[in-house]
Amino acid sequence: MIHRSLACGAVKAVLGLGANLGDPADTFRKAAKAIANVDGVTVTAAAPLYVSRPWGKTDQPDFTNSALLIETQLSPRRLLAALLDVEKELGRIRAEHWGPRVIDIDILVYGEELLAEPELSIPHPHLTERSFALKPLVDLWPTAKIGERPASEILTRLDLSDLTPAGPGNWHREPVRRN
């Protein structure tokens, strides 16, 4: 994991990545590079890949999930807008709620910010119920808090039996650099 001090005014955040169409590891590499090229965002580390059964709508292929640790000077809303642009650039089509997708990028946590708006909630809704999102977050930021509770403590209460490491998956070991 790469450790750097936060740039002046930067906030540490974790972005969740998910996909069950195409080649998720390749798509995650492309997403990490695109996110690193957003002004005001630095990708500092990536979690390993995990495979799990779908959540919500279960009649679809298994998902591959991971997360990126970033530092950002963007507001949560500006960061979300940039992430939606990256999803679109990578071929995301929003056809079905919780349906199959080539990429999904969510803001899991943004510092210790609490935000509840129709278009954006931080921490991400259902984060405390989803091992496939919480495990990669804890891999990257073991001391992160979800509300007042440590994420690592919440993770100990979740069933991890459906979460399978996705092999050696060295996607996260490659440095993520701006173009």
Known catalytic residues are 92, 101, 104, 106
Q: In 3-state terms, what secondary structure has residue 38?
A: coil
> Alpha-carbon distance 142 to 23, whole Å?
28
* Token reading at 9: 């005014």
* Token reading at 48: 């390993």
E-strand stretches of the chain: 11-19, 41-46, 50-52, 63-72, 104-110, 115-116, 121-122, 145-146, 149-150, 164-165
The letter for the amino acid at 35 is I
Beta strands 50-52 and 63-72, pairing class? antiparallel
Which distant-in-sequence residues (6+ apart) come within 8 Å of 114 by Cβ?
Answer: 122, 123, 147
Contact assessment for residue 17 and residue 103, using Cβ atoms and an 8 Å cutoff: yes
DSSP 27: H
